[in-house]
Amino acid sequence: MVILCRMSAPLPKGFPAGNIVSMTTQSQMPAFLLTRPLAYSQRYAATLQHCFGPGLSITISPLIAPRLLQTPFPTGPWDWLILTSETGVAAYAQHPARPSDLPKRAFCVGDRTAKAAQQAGLETISADADAVALIALIQKHSPDGQLLHICGAHRRGDVAGNLTNSGIPTKAFVLYEQEQRPLSVQAANLLSGKRPVLAPLFSPRTAAIFAGALADTSQKAPLICATLSDAVTDALAQHKDITLCPAAKPTAAALTDAIKKYLAARQAP
C-alpha cells in the first residue's frame, strides 16, 4: 500500500532548524539514505545535520555518478545558454576547448544552478523551479537569436524542442552523462533492518533506479521517500508499502520542509 503524505499545515510555532532533536531522541529518528551524486549528497547531509542535529544516521550511496564529456561545442552564434543542473555548469566551466565567443548570460532552472553559473562567470536569470517553469520563463523573455541548452544524456522533457516549437530556436548539447551505480552493501543492509529509512529523492531517474534496486534487496525497513516533484513521485508508483512525502515546490529547501513536517507529524500526540 502506498501512503501519500501531503501536509499543507505550517510547521509548529517555534520549529526552526534543529528543534526536532529536542522533540525526540536520535534513535527514534529514521535513518537517512542519500542517493544523489557524492558531492550533492555530502552537501545535503550537511543540510540535514544543520536541521536535525549532528547525530543523525546518514548513509550515502550514490545511484548515479557524473562523467563530463569533451565533445566540441556546436557552431553558433549563440545568444543565450540554458543550464538545468550544476553538473551542466561544471561541464561548461571545465571544458578544455570552450569557445571564447560563447554568450556570458544563461537561463538557469534553479537558484543553485544559477549560483554555480555566476561563479563560472555568467550572468543568470533563474526560474527557481523546474524545467516547465524554465521554459515559461524563457518564453516570457522571448530572447532574440539562438539558445544553447547544455544538458546531460539522460533528461526528462525536451526543453530545446519545446522552445524551438514555440519560435525560440534552441539546440540541446549533451556535455555530460550520469552513469548508474548499484546500491552499496551498507545501503542494502540499512533497508533490510527494522529502523525506518527516509530517502530524499531529487530526480525521476534516480527514483526509478532506486525503485529497481529495492527489488534486489530484502527490504524490511519501513520506507519513507521525500520526493522533489510529481515526476519523482510517479517514478515510484509501482513500488508498494512506501510512504511518499512530496515537496510543495521542486526545490531542495521545499523538500527539506516536507521532511520537517513529516517528522513533526510523526511525533505529534
Tell me how far the alpha carbon of residue 184 is from its chain's centroid: 20
Tell me: pLDDT of 12 over 90: no
Q: Which of 216, 217, 237, 66 is nearest to 225 (CA)?
A: 237
Whether residue 189 lies inside any domain: the answer is yes
Give the bridge partners for 58, in sequence order.
32
- The string of pLDDT tens digits covering residues 38-85 is 999 999 999 999 999 989 999 999 999 999 999 999 999 999 999 999
| 261, 215: one domain | yes
Query: How does the average pLDDT of the chain come out, rounded?
Result: 90
The stretch 215-242 carries a mean pLDDT of 92
Last residue of a domain, one of 179, 196, 216: 179
Q: Grade residue 259 by pLDDT with cuts at 50, 70 and 90.
A: very high
| 104, 157: one domain | yes
| 200, 247: one domain | yes
| 201, 108: one domain | no
What is the model's pLDDT at position 111? 94
C-beta separation of 213 from 183 below 8 A: yes
| 165, 78: one domain | yes
Q: Grade residue 9 by pLDDT with cuts at 50, 70 and 90.
A: very low
Q: Grade residue 1 by pLDDT with cuts at 50, 70 and 90.
A: very low
- With 0-12 / 13-18 / 19 or more C-beta atoms within 10 angstroms meaning exposed / middle / buried, residue 200 is buried
DSSP SS3 for 184: coil
Distance CA 145, CA 121 (A): 21
| 92, 175: one domain | yes
What is the model's pLDDT at position 27? 54
Last residue of a domain, one of 179, 203, 226: 179
What is the model's pLDDT at position 157? 81
- The string of pLDDT tens digits covering residues 89-113 is 999 999 999 999 999 999 999 999 9
Grid coordinates belonging to 14: 517555534
| 97, 154: one domain | yes
Tell me: pLDDT of 205 over 60: yes
**φ, ψ of residue 99 in degrees (nearest 5):** -60, 145
What is the model's pLDDT at position 266? 84
| 72, 143: one domain | yes
Whether residue 92 lies inside any domain: the answer is yes
Last residue of a domain, one of 179, 205, 224: 179
Report the domain count for the chain. 2
Whether residue 78 lies inside any domain: the answer is yes
Placement of cell 523573455 in the chain? 141
CATH number at residue 226: 3.40.50.10090
Whether residue 202 lies inside any domain: the answer is yes
Whether residue 224 lies inside any domain: the answer is yes
| 43, 78: one domain | no
| 161, 237: one domain | no
Tell me: pLDDT of 22 over 50: no
| 59, 158: one domain | no
| 149, 86: one domain | yes
Where do the H-state alpha helices sit in the chain?
Answer: 19-23, 38-52, 86-94, 111-119, 131-141, 159-165, 185-191, 204-214, 230-234, 252-267
- The string of pLDDT tens digits covering residues 169-199 is 999 999 999 999 999 999 999 999 999 999 9
- The string of pLDDT tens digits covering residues 128-155 is 989 999 999 999 999 999 999 999 999 8
Whether residue 156 lies inside any domain: the answer is yes
Grid coordinates belonging to 264: 513533526
C-beta separation of 264 from 244 below 8 A: no
What is the model's pLDDT at position 45? 98
What is the model's pLDDT at position 206? 96
Whether residue 19 lies inside any domain: the answer is no
- Could you list the residue range(s) of the whole structural domain that residue 170 is in? 66-179
Whether residue 145 lies inside any domain: the answer is yes
Q: Which of 191, 192, 138, 188 is nearest to 167 (CA)?
A: 138
